[in-house]
Amino acid sequence: MRRTKEDAARTREEVLAAAAEIFYENGVSGSSLEKIAQRAGVTRGAIYWHFKDKAEVLTALHREIRLPQETIVDYAIAHGHDDPLGLIENATIEVLQILVNDEHQQRVFAIMILGCEFTEHLSDAAQRIVTANAEMFGKLQKLIEMADERSRLAPLWTADAAARAIQCSMNGLLAEWLRSGKSFPLVDVGERLVRSLIHSMRGETSN
Amino acid sequence: MRRTKEDAARTREEVLAAAAEIFYENGVSGSSLEKIAQRAGVTRGAIYWHFKDKAEVLTALHREIRLPQETIVDYAIAHGHDDPLGLIENATIEVLQILVNDEHQQRVFAIMILGCEFTEHLSDAAQRIVTANAEMFGKLQKLIEMADERSRLAPLWTADAAARAIQCSMNGLLAEWLRSGKSFPLVDVGERLVRSLIHSMRGETSN
DNA sequence: ATGTTTACAATCATTCATGTATGTTTGTAT
DNA sequence: ATACAAACATACATGAATGATTGTAAACAT
């Protein structure tokens, strides 16, 4: 039996890791705490000691990762604001490259996108995704507005539509990639997609 | 009490309508047949008479609508194959316009994308989406390959990447639109997005 | 050395959805 | 008029997941 602080923290992590697996395999609602406990090698008692209920396990799991969206915006802010559109382009590609190498993020993200129900009265975790999405959109929009002031956006685009388009494309790209079992090269397709979009927004000639 | 054939078909429809509402509000797994029955003004007995179980209600609901993807491909095939890229562009826009005016399709689609868990051992309905997605991709790819043979694709693109990009963008657009509670003009953003992508694939100058 | 708290395990009661079985009413064919 | 089947409603039995309670061994403070 484990008693020390470190041991406790360890079982907590083991529970979370087990939860990620079980959620990924069966979906959130299809996973019982009993199954998670078994996978983690503990009883439900342990889980209930560390977490209030299943929802709290999910949010804890969710809190561990950074949403790609947040990462993109952070990257953009960290690297200054000259050429905002180029910044978005590079940030997006870089984030995709990082994500391809992080299996745990992929799994948690898959749980959120594919294995978790976005209902009307949203769960805590689902709510956070929605909020992060909205914030991401706002910041994207501002970046693009800055670009618009420097060098005019192509007439096809408004800052609003452009931000929306980038957000939708990237989220869709990720969702499809995960749903299809990573059946296509994420970075490759993503890179072409972003380059194409940003290029179009710049109003330059193609390619 | 209802006895005639038409009456029976009617309660069947009422059950499906109620199911759409309940599923939309609570997610599929969060909805009991009891709730659906109450909303429909019947008992669970009626539901079990018409359907085997909850999964069959879901697939029945699903069978009622055409996936936007299927519609796009159908449109493209129906309108011939000269200028395949332009075909894709027009078909996509038209499908979006239709979907904006069909609340029922929207709700069922929202259930599938947001309120239904895509797990490893997929449900019947989820499986159909995956299959339709794969077929859609194959047909899209062929269309684009045809375009590639006529007039070269822009060097940035391959037929594979292009098909993937369009599919991901459109699915992402729809998902975001539904998830955000239709908070932005779907057709407007979608039109810009598709035009931009197709334009880029044609290798023409922007706009 | 001892009391107390931590970190769980084990047990229990309750809820809730499901599936099934059976009852009941009404059309419909003969 | 009667028999049968369709179209449900009602009642029940079951199992699974949950949350709560209680038990307990080890760590830690005193």
Of B117, B121, B195, the CB nearest to A117: B117
Burial of A94 (0-12, 13-18, 19+ CB in 10 A): middle
Tell me the C-alpha distance between B66 and B109, whole Å.
10
| Residues of B with Cβ-Cβ distance to A151 under 8 angstroms | none
Looking at the predicted structure, is the pLDDT value of residue B46 above 50?
A: yes
For residues A153 and A147, the answer to whether their CB atoms sit within 8 Å is yes
Please list every residue in chain A whose beta carbon sits closer than 8 Å to the beta carbon of residue B171: 172, 175-176
Q: Which residues of chain A does B165 touch, with a Cβ-Cβ cutoff of 8 Å? A: 169, 173, 189, 192-193, 196
Q: pTM of this prediction?
A: 0.91
Helix (H, G, I), strand (E, B) or coil at A204: coil
How large is the average pLDDT for residues A15-43? 96
A6 touches strand C (CB under 7 A): no
Q: What confidence tens digit (pLDDT) does each residue in A69-104 have? A: 777 777 777 777 788 899 899 999 999 999 999 998
B138 — contact with chain A (CB < 8 Å)? no
Write the pLDDT tens digit of every residue in A67-76: 777 777 777 7
Structure tokens, A96: 């995709």
In this complex, the nucleotide whose C1' atom is nearest to the CA atom of residue B12 is: D7
Q: Is A169 on the interface with B (CB under 8 A)?
A: yes
The whole-number pLDDT of residue A205 equals: 47
Report CB contact under 8 Å: A169, B168: yes
Nearest to B154 among A130, A175, A206 (CB): A206
Give residues with Cβ within 8 angstroms of B178, minimum separation 6. Answer: B106, B109, B110, B113, B114
**Strand D nucleotides below 7 A of a protein CB?**
6-11, 16-22, 25-28
* Strand C nucleotides where any atom sits below 7 Å of a protein CB: 6-11, 16-21, 25-28
Q: CA-to-CA distance for A206 and B177, rounded, in angstroms? A: 28
* Counts for chain A of helices (H) and strands (E), in that order: 10, 0
Q: What do you get for the CA distance between the two ends of chain B, in Å?
A: 63
Among chain A residues, CA nearest to B26: A119
- The residue whose CA lies nearest the C1' of nucleotide C28 is B4
Q: What are the b/e assignments for A148-177, b being 16+ CB within 10 Å? A: beeeebbebbbbbbbbbbbbbbbbbbbbbb
Examine the pLDDT at B207 and tell me if it is beyond 70.
no
Q: What is the pLDDT of residues B23-37, one digit of tens each?
A: 999 999 999 999 999
- B71 or B166, which is more confident? B166
Q: Which DSSP letter does residue A81 get?
A: S
> Residue by residue, what is the 3-state secondary structure of A12-56?
HHHHHHHHHHHHHHHCCCCCCHHHHHHHHCCCHHHHHHHCCCHHH
Average pLDDT, integer, range A131-135: 88
Of A27, A134, A203, the CB nearest to B119: A27
Helices A5-26, A103-114: axis angle to 10 degrees equals 50
* Alpha-carbon span A17 to A172, nearest angstrom: 26
Which range has the top average pLDDT, A24-38, A107-121, A122-136, A147-161? A24-38
Instruction: Please report the pLDDT score of residue A204 as a whole number.
Output: 62
Are B60 and B51 spatial neighbours (Cβ–Cβ below 8 Å)?
A: yes
